[in-house]
Amino acid sequence: MATAILHSLKQGAYTAIALYVVFIAVVTVVSLNPHLSEPSSVSEPSSVVALERAADQAKGRTS
């Protein structure tokens, strides 16, 4: 019975370590690529709007 408990604890420890490694990998990838954490539907139109406003301001300055 004691060996079964020890085996179960070891399996739980291996699972916890594997989940921790995956968590660290995900955090690393997201921190190196901040655009991955932003919703694409929100970030894309706002950049398009900003570009259109910049183009309109440039047209206003030239005329």
Considering the entire predicted model, what is its pTM? Answer: 0.51
Whether the per-residue pLDDT at 63 is higher than 60: the answer is no
- Residues whose CB falls within 8 Å of the CB of residue 37, separated by 6 or more in sequence, listed in order: 30
Question: CA torsion angle for 7, 11, 12, 13 (degrees, to 10)?
Answer: 100
pLDDT category at 44 given cuts 50, 70, 90 is: low
pLDDT at residue 62, as a whole number? 62
- List for the chain the helix, strand, coil content (%; round to 5): 90, 0, 10
pLDDT at residue 34, as a whole number? 79
Query: Does residue 38 or residue 23 have the better pLDDT?
Result: 23
**CA 62 to each of CA 14, 35, 56, 57: distance values in angstroms, whole numbers, following the listed order:** 66, 34, 10, 9
Average pLDDT on 17-40 reads 88
Whether the per-residue pLDDT at 2 is higher than 80: the answer is yes
